């Protein structure tokens, strides 16, 4: 790790980390990005290719680094067929093109299934997290041991700043969502438990079987088989049966969780999950006759992600907060993306997401090609970031998000850059009004999504 | 509810750069700039009037205006339309191409060529042939055709004029001409829903027709409007069997999902499905340098049909040979594609996603090889299995196979045209290709043309458009006891 990277990432627990004006960071960030580039340019093949194409030997400005950013889709660019054909050798080779450290392809290629492959990689120090993308492909993100340690530290520090909760191991954590069983989630889960969980009792674990990468990709594999015409009716029926069984387990989990949380109502609790699960448990709690007044007034919450296509009543947020007696100041919100290893916590006073000094915000035009000039007012564009903390893969990522950024101080007093709480995906914005006679077999696959 | 719908809920003032796109409603031109829309691909704005829904629906109490106009007269009118479309002084068409250049992905020269090719469809012999291939007895379009079955029961059958909504694609202006012609040949009442990447051509042709005779029944049978595909404010109102018999739709995915919601008794879908076309090149291509050059050139012609925007354009080429032989083919193919792209000035860059996926494959050592760059000037990717992305914008995926028999398993329900070389092996493959889902097998290099009147999308579309109506006219003699004669219930 270079000197500038080290200096910026060391700020992870500094109390004033969001209070440093962008202008004061500019030189250090450019130096740090160049350090990362010099370390990685001959290791990450895709970055090496980009640098060669753009003729870049050194990063001297924010503008120059734009040529070296990878779109978020880079981590989905492997052919899905390899999953179905169990081509772990090829997938390993593919992973090697985006990995900062050489993947020992031969050592990990002999696996029985995708979970086995991921285990073998982990044994070699390569931690692959897989997105639970409900539509289309799952991203595969490789990270190192150093990244896992970083995620643990960063997640808790960011949570603490955003929620105002000082970790005191005096809470009972209630997870209310089936979380993908991937290294990064396990690492942050472990860190939250160590920081918040009252050691006198066991952390409540959501009563559903763990969702492994194998389970996540099963649907992807079947979809591909249907498209290729190789799936037999029995394969589809078996999958539908499995889905129904999973749904049943999820439904049963709601009641069990509600009972457990009601039993713990006199203790300080921390609830976490996705809106759908939180809402369902809250509703079950209300149905049991309990509500806000029965719960501890210092309870806290962390919700990951948006609605994810769930259809809930208008007031779902208030309903959840009121049920578990969560005061607005302990409602933690965070803007991030799976390609980054750092979050941007929302402040209480300004309601904006704050970019930490080791994450370089690069606001691009809609096409994701050009850096927009920094101006003295709030402006919008496509979000791209360089996360200087990343060790196992490249930190520069172009997202699919449209954001509004402001480099002036926020109402909360922090002087670092901040992002408005109105992030949307370009894909959701545009819709698809396209019609043409040319198309793919995807249009012929029904019901496996 | 008012039938005047403000399609976009945004303020009606048009941005200064917005191009104007008027509507056509049962013979009348509707101008206005009440709503501003965004064209896909280029992100250009265009302004349209509001849709007056009452004006574009023809009440069922009135018979279709074209019903009793003889087919011969309709064809004459279409032929005159074709003549005027190809006239370089036609201001509607000239204007339309100017506007289209602002919103379309294809270069001007290609669009102009498209319009000329489209006009060629409006040929007397051609149109007669289309009708003759679609209907065993084309007289049914003009009159109630008498028939008598073997039991002596008499009837009259009519290919009655239907009410059609055409959901047009945006990738080829030629489809507009063809759809107008087909709608006219079956004497339909037609509503054309234009696409955001071409909200101009259909109206330009209809204006050309109105210029011939504004009061003609053919002109009064046509309306063309734009709304954003899937806009429930329009579709929930219009897509009803009380207003239309059939929705003739192109495309798949969301475009079709939107339409499917409204289908039900009385409202059917005739779909022109989204298709992928491929090529199969046999080992005979490697017989000599000459045959290799020929096969590569023919293949490049199929890849570059409408600059690879059309469904007939080849995207995956299965080549029977060793890896080094196939590499030789790839090199030549890339060269030819690049030449064709350059000749028409097409250097549109590839989408970021596509570029990313191709560049990843470049990193994969021996398993993949790339000729050309991802710079939009023509790119060929060689692999052992077809790539999973959709090769588009001058991108061809050559799949190396030991035998073309291996390639057959890659044919699926989305496969349309299979360009084949050498031609004398086609008969060996056609049954297996049809069984897999393919619709056409053609000589390599001839993906574009087809025998006039041949089926499209595995059907005879005109035959499906019409409302088949029977007039039962009793029996010659006393009907036989039940069970022997044809009764309505045993149909």
* Minimal-distance CA residue of chain A relative to B37: A433
**A443 with B392: Cβ contact below 8 A:** no
**B387 with A435: Cβ contact below 8 A:** no
Nearest-CA distance from B394 to chain A in Å? 14
Residues 6 or more apart in contact with residue A232 via CB below 8 angstroms: none
pLDDT at residue number B111: 79
- The residues that bridge with B276 in the sheet, in sequence order, are B415
pLDDT at residue number B4: 39
Distance CA A440, CA A248 (A): 34
In terms of residues, how long is chain A? Answer: 449
The 10s digit of each residue's pLDDT in B318-338 is: 999 999 999 999 999 999 999
* Chain A residues touching residue B437 (CB < 8 angstroms): 229
Nearest-CA distance from A384 to chain B in Å? 14
* Chain A residues touching residue B412 (CB < 8 angstroms): 227-229, 441, 444
pLDDT at residue number B5: 40
Identify the residue whose tokens are 């590499």: B327
Distance CA B449, CA A398 (A): 43
Distance CA B378, CA B375 (A): 8
Nearest-CA distance from A135 to chain B in Å? 13
Average pLDDT on A66-86 reads 88
Q: How confident is the model at residue A244 (pLDDT cuts 50, 70, 90)?
A: confident
* Chain B residues touching residue A436 (CB < 8 angstroms): 169-171, 250-251, 274, 309, 311
**A367 with B352: Cβ contact below 8 A:** yes
The 10s digit of each residue's pLDDT in B412-450 is: 999 999 999 999 999 999 999 999 999 999 999 999 889
Local structure of B342: helix, strand or coil: helix
Nearest-CA distance from B436 to chain A in Å? 9
Q: How confident is the model at residue B104 (pLDDT cuts 50, 70, 90)?
A: low
Interface test with B, best of A47, A80, A435, A446 (most B CBs within 10 A): A435
- The residues that bridge with A449 in the sheet, in sequence order, are none
pLDDT at residue number B11: 38
pLDDT at residue number B297: 98
Question: What is the residue-averaged pLDDT of chain A?
Answer: 89
Average pLDDT on B383-406 reads 95
ipTM given for this complex: 0.79
pLDDT at residue number A312: 86
Question: What is the residue-averaged pLDDT of chain B?
Answer: 89
pLDDT at B281 over 90: yes
Q: How confident is the model at residue A242 (pLDDT cuts 50, 70, 90)?
A: confident
pLDDT at A164 over 80: yes
| Cα–Cα distance list, B103 to B174, B231, B307, B399 (Å) | 16, 21, 17, 34
Average pLDDT on A261-283 reads 92
Q: How confident is the model at residue A89 (pLDDT cuts 50, 70, 90)?
A: very high
Interface test with B, best of A140, A368, A428, A434 (most B CBs within 10 A): A434
pLDDT at B490 over 70: no
pLDDT at A84 over 70: yes
Minimum-distance CB partner of A81 among B359, B367, B385: B385
Minimum-distance CB partner of A97 among B43, B230, B360: B360
**B414 with A73: Cβ contact below 8 A:** no
Q: What percent of chain B shows pLDDT beyond 90?
A: 69
pLDDT at residue number B9: 36
* Minimal-distance CA residue of chain B relative to A400: B353
The count of CB pairs under 8 A between chains A and B is: 137
pLDDT at residue number A381: 95
Interface test with B, best of A438, A443, A449 (most B CBs within 10 A): A438
**A71 with B313: Cβ contact below 8 A:** no
* Chain A residues touching residue B356 (CB < 8 angstroms): 70-71, 73-74, 77
* Chain B residues touching residue A92 (CB < 8 angstroms): none
**A434 with B170: Cβ contact below 8 A:** yes
Nearest-CA distance from B491 to chain A in Å? 32
Spatial CA neighbour of A201 closest among A155, A264, A258: A264
Global confidence as pTM: 0.81
Comparing B487 with A345, which gets the higher pLDDT?
A345
Q: Reading across the β-sheet that carries A326-332, which strands appear in turn?
A: A172-175, A269-273, A299-303, A326-332
Interface test with B, best of A103, A137, A142, A437 (most B CBs within 10 A): A437
* Minimal-distance CA residue of chain A relative to B306: A438
Average pLDDT on A74-99 reads 90
**A436 with B311: Cβ contact below 8 A:** yes
The 10s digit of each residue's pLDDT in A401-417 is: 999 999 999 999 999 99
pLDDT at residue number A390: 97
Nearest-CA distance from A66 to chain B in Å? 14
Minimum-distance CB partner of B359 among A49, A436, A439: A49
pLDDT at residue number A440: 65
Comparing B313 with A348, which gets the higher pLDDT?
B313
pLDDT at B346 over 90: no
pLDDT at residue number A372: 95
Q: Which of A325-329, B144-148, B199-203 has the highest mean pLDDT?
A: B144-148
| Cα–Cα distance list, B462 to A151, B138, B220 (Å) | 63, 11, 20
Average pLDDT on B377-387 reads 94
Identify the residue whose tokens are 């000094």: A357
The 10s digit of each residue's pLDDT in A277-291 is: 899 999 999 999 999
Burial class (CB in 10 A: 0-12, 13-18, 19+), B189: buried
Q: Which two tokens stand for residue B305?
A: 């049909």
| Cα–Cα distance list, B230 to A341, A410, B255, B260 (Å) | 38, 40, 7, 11
Distance CA B286, CA B18 (A): 53
Nearest-CA distance from B145 to chain A in Å? 36
Average pLDDT on B180-202 reads 93
* Minimal-distance CA residue of chain A relative to B350: A367
| Cα–Cα distance list, B255 to A305, B201, B267 (Å) | 28, 20, 17
pLDDT at B486 over 90: no
pLDDT at residue number A246: 84
What residues in chain A have their Cβ under 8 A from chain B's Cβ atoms? 45-46, 49, 70-71, 73-74, 77-81, 90, 93-94, 97, 227-229, 366-369, 431-444
Nearest-CA distance from A74 to chain B in Å? 6
- The residues that bridge with B475 in the sheet, in sequence order, are B153
Average pLDDT on A164-193 reads 90
């Amino acid at each position: 790790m270079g000197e500038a990277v080290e200096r910026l990432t060391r700020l992870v627990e500094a109390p004033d980390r969001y209070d440093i004006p962008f202008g004061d960071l500019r030189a250090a960030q450019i130096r740090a990005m160049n350090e990362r580039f010099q370390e990685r340019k001959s290791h990450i093949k895709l970055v090496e290719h980009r640098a060669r194409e753009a003729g870049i030997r050194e990063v001297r400005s924010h503008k120059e680094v734009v040529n070296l950013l990878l779109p978020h889709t880079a981590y989905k660019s492997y052919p899905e067929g390899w999953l179905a054909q169990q081509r772990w050798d090829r997938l390993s080779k593919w992973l090697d093109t985006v990995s900062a450290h050489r993947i020992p392809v031969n050592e990990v290629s002999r696996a029985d299934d995708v979970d086995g492959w991921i285990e073998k990689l982990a044994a070699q120090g390569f931690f692959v997290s897989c997105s639970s993308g409900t539509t289309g492909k799952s991203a595969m993100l490789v990270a190192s041991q150093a990244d896992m340690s970083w995620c643990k530290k960063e997640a808790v520090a960011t949570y603490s700043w955003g929620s105002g909760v000082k970790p005191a191991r005096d809470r009972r954590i209630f997870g209310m969502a089936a979380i993908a069983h991937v290294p990064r989630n396990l690492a942050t889960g472990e860190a939250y438990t160590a920081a918040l969980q009252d050691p006198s009792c066991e952390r409540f674990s959501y009563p559903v079987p763990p969702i492994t990468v194998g389970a996540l990709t099963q649907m992807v594999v079947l979809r591909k088989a249907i498209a290729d015409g190789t799936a037999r009716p029995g394969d589809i029926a078996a999958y539908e049966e499995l889905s129904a069984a999973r749904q049943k387990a999820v439904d049963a989990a709601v009641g069990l969780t509600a009972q457990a949380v009601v039993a713990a109502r006199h203790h300080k609790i921390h609830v976490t999950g996705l809106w759908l699960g939180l809402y369902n448990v809250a509703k079950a709690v209300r149905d049991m006759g309990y509500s806000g007044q029965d719960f501890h007034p210092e309870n806290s919450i962390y919700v990951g992600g948006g609605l994810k296509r769930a259809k809930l009543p208008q007031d779902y947020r208030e309903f959840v907060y009121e049920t578990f007696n969560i005061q607005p100041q302990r409602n933690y919100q965070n803007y991030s993306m799976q390609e980054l290893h750092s979050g941007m916590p929302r402040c209480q006073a300004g309601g904006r997401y704050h970019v930490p000094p080791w994450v370089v915000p690069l606001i691009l035009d809609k096409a994701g090609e050009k850096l927009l000039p920094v101006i003295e007012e709030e402006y919008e564009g496509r979000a791209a970031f360089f996360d200087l903390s990343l060790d196992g893969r490249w930190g520069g990522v172009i997202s699919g998000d449209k954001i509004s950024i402001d480099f002036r101080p926020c109402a909360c007093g922090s002087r670092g850059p901040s992002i408005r709480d109105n992030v949307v995906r370009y894909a959701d914005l545009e819709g698809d009004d396209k019609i043409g006679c040319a198309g793919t077999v995807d249009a012929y696959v029904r019901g496996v999504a | 509810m008012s039938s005047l719908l403000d399609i976009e809920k945004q303020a009606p003032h048009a941005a200064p750069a917005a191009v104007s796109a008027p509507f056509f409603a049962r013979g009348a031109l509707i101008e206005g700039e009440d709503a501003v829309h965004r064209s896909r691909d280029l992100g250009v704005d265009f302004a349209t009037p509001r849709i007056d829904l009452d004006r574009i629906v023809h009440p069922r109490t009135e018979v279709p205006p074209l019903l009793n106009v003889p087919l011969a007269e309709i064809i004459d009118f279409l032929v005159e339309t074709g003549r005027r479309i190809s006239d370089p002084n036609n201001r509607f068409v000239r204007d339309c191409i100017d506007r289209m250049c602002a919103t379309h992905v294809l270069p001007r020269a290609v669009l102009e060529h498209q319009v000329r090719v489209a006009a060629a469809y409006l040929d007397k012999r051609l149109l007669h042939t289309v009708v003759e291939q679609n209907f065993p007895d084309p007289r049914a379009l003009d009159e109630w055709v008498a028939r008598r079955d073997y039991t002596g029961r008499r009837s009259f059958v009519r290919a009655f004029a239907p009410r059609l909504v055409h959901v047009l694609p945006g990738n080829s202006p030629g489809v507009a001409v063809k759809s107008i012609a087909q709608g006219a040949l079956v004497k339909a009442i037609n509503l054309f829903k234009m696409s955001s990447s071409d909200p101009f051509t259909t109206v330009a042709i209809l204006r050309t027709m109105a210029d011939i005779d504004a009061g003609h029944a053919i002109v009064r049978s046509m309306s063309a409007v734009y709304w954003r595909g899937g806009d429930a404010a329009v579709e929930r109102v219009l897509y009803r069997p009380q207003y239309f018999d059939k929705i003739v739709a192109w495309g798949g995915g969301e475009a079709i999902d939107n339409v499917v919601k409204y289908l039900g008794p009385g409202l059917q879908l005739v779909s022109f499905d989204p298709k992928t076309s491929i090529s199969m090149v046999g080992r005979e291509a490697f017989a000599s340098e000459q045959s290799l050059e020929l096969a590569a050139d023919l293949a490049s012609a199929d890849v570059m049909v409408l600059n690879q925007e059309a469904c007939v354009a080849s995207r995956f080429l299965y080549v029977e040979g060793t890896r080094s032989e196939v590499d030789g083919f790839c090199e030549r193919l890339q060269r030819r594609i690049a030449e064709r792209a350059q000749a028409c000035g097409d250097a549109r860059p590839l989408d970021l996603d596509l570029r990313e996926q191709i560049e990843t494959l470049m990193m994969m050592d021996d398993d993949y090889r790339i000729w050309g760059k991802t710079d939009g000037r023509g790119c060929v990717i060689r692999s052992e299995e077809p790539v999973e992305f959709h090769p588009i914008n001058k991108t061809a995926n050559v799949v190396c196979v030991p035998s073309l028999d291996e390639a057959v398993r890659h044919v699926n329900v989305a496969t349309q045209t299979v360009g084949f070389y050498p031609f004398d092996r086609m008969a060996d493959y056609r049954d297996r290709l049809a069984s897999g889902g393919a619709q056409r097998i053609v000589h390599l290099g001839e993906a574009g043309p087809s025998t006039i009147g041949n089926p499209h999308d595995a059907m005879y579309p005109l035959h499906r458009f019409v409302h088949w109506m029977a007039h039962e006219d009793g029996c010659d003699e006393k009907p036989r006891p039940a069970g022997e004669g044809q009764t309505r219930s045993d149909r």
